[in-house]
């Protein structure tokens, strides 16, 4: 009897020509074979989730626009085959979304920085071919069992289409009615990863780390792949997914500032209380002794049950502030103790 792996290898051989015609390099392009694409990076506005679309492939502006239509925020583009986003660049985004075709400029460094982004409270969505060690793939810490919910024991890909089975149960599949893709890695769960949805041929469709910090989306909706269905909505949902009822905050643009600079704070609140409530955030800059040296109270935000609220605010470091270590603290009234605040360290030079 053929095993699942042996059957998949036969399918890969049978459909190699079709995959090559549909996918150009069919995940065999090396560094330098693809002309670098112009990055599309914009200032991050207040409100809406900010996503960095960073595949090792050319841009698909229509795909990004479709994702942004669901999130109400920014979806920028960075060509990860031509360069690696810096840690400070990644810090400016709530979510980073990547999938693989051509070789990454540095697949290890990129993977390490994505893991750091998750550690700092950001989200990462991994797409097609990120686990495909038989060709170009993503490496570094983000692909280890502490981060990626799946790996590919065979390092293979189906190179054959199948449709979503309709069995997703988490917020990743909210509003999703159908999708299919030819380019799907052959996966197994790892490190406590959880599955959400499958393809009709039994392959894992989506999976996630228990805190949704990393979501694996087995396929992608970019035009280079030719896959169809609700891929933009899936990406938007994956970047928004959370199971926590808590406030969190991140510092955009790095953690080192000068006196007089403005610190941009990205605030996320998951509201799991039944009903609608209106709350304001208080952002303070505190010295090592806990003394408040700057404060901002934000306009009130109205939120409903199961809503994820994301906002971006700035607090100014007063001129003449001595060099040293400080904390940016974000509070909200009326939440359970321990979930009512988030603290992030910064350095004033």
Task: Determine the pLDDT at residue 6.
Answer: 43
Q: What is the pTM of this model?
A: 0.70
The residues facing 19 across adjacent strands are none
Predicted confidence (pLDDT) at residue 56 exceeds the cutoff of 60 = yes
CA distance 91 to 93: 5
Task: Determine the pLDDT at residue 108.
Answer: 98
pLDDT tens, residue by residue, 231-257: 999 999 999 876 545 678 889 988 999
Task: Determine the pLDDT at residue 207.
Answer: 98
CA distance 39 to 61: 11
pLDDT tens, residue by residue, 118-148: 998 899 999 999 999 999 999 999 999 999 9
Hey, what are 221's tokens? Answer: 């909706």
Phi, psi torsion values for 233, nearest 5 degrees: -65, -40
Predicted confidence (pLDDT) at residue 51 exceeds the cutoff of 90 = yes
Average pLDDT score over residue span 38-64: 86
Task: Determine the pLDDT at residue 110.
Answer: 98
Task: Determine the pLDDT at residue 244.
Answer: 47
The residues facing 250 across adjacent strands are 266
State the pLDDT confidence band at 2, using cuts at 50, 70 and 90: very low
Q: Which of 98, 57, 55 is nearest to 239 (CA)?
A: 98
All structural domains of the chain: 4-240 (3.40.50.880), 247-348 (2.60.40.10)
Average pLDDT score over residue span 166-174: 90
> Between 94 and 13, where is the model more confident?
94
Predicted confidence (pLDDT) at residue 188 exceeds the cutoff of 60 = yes
Average pLDDT score over residue span 300-314: 84
């Amino acid at each position: 009897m053929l095993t699942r792996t042996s059957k998949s290898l036969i399918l890969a051989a049978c459909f190699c020509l079709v995959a090559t015609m549909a996918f150009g390099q069919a995940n065999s392009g090396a560094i330098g074979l693809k002309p670098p694409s112009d990055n599309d990076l914009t200032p991050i506005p207040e409100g809406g989730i900010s996503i960095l679309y960073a595949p090792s492939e050319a841009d698909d502006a229509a795909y990004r626009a479709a994702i942004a239509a669901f999130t109400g925020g920014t979806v920028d583009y960075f060509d990860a085959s031509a360069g690696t986003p810096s840690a400070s660049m990644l810090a400016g985004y709530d979510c980073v979304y990547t999938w693989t075709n051509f070789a990454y400029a540095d697949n290890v460094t990129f993977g390490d920085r994505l893991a750091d982004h998750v550690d700092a409270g950001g989200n990462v969505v991994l797409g097609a071919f990120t686990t495909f060690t038989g060709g170009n793939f993503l490496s570094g810490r983000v692909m280890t069992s502490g981060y990626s919910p799946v790996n590919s024991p065979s390092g293979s890909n189906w190179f054959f289409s199948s449709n979503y089975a309709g069995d997703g149960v988490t917020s990743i599949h909210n509003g999703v009615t159908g999708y299919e893709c030819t380019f799907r890695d052959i996966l197994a769960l790892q490190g406590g990863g959880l599955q959400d949805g499958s393809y009709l041929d039994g392959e894992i469709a989506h999976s996630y780390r228990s805190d949704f910090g990393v979501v694996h989306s087995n396929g992608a909706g970019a035009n280079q792949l030719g896959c169809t269905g609700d891929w933009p909505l899936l990406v938007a949902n994956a970047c928004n997914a959370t199971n926590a009822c808590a406030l969190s905050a991140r510092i955009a643009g790095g953690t080192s500032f000068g006196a007089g600079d403005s610190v941009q704070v990205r605030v996320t609140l998951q509201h799991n209380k039944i009903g609608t409530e209106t709350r304001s955030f208080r952002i303070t800059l505190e010295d090592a002794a806990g003394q408040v040296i700057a404060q901002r109270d934000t306009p009130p935000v109205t939120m409903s049950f199961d809503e994820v609220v994301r906002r971006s605010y700035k607090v100014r470091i007063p001129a003449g502030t001595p060099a040293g270590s400080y904390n940016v603290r974000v509070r909200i009234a009326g939440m359970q103790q321990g979930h009512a605040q988030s603290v992030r360290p910064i350095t004033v030079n």
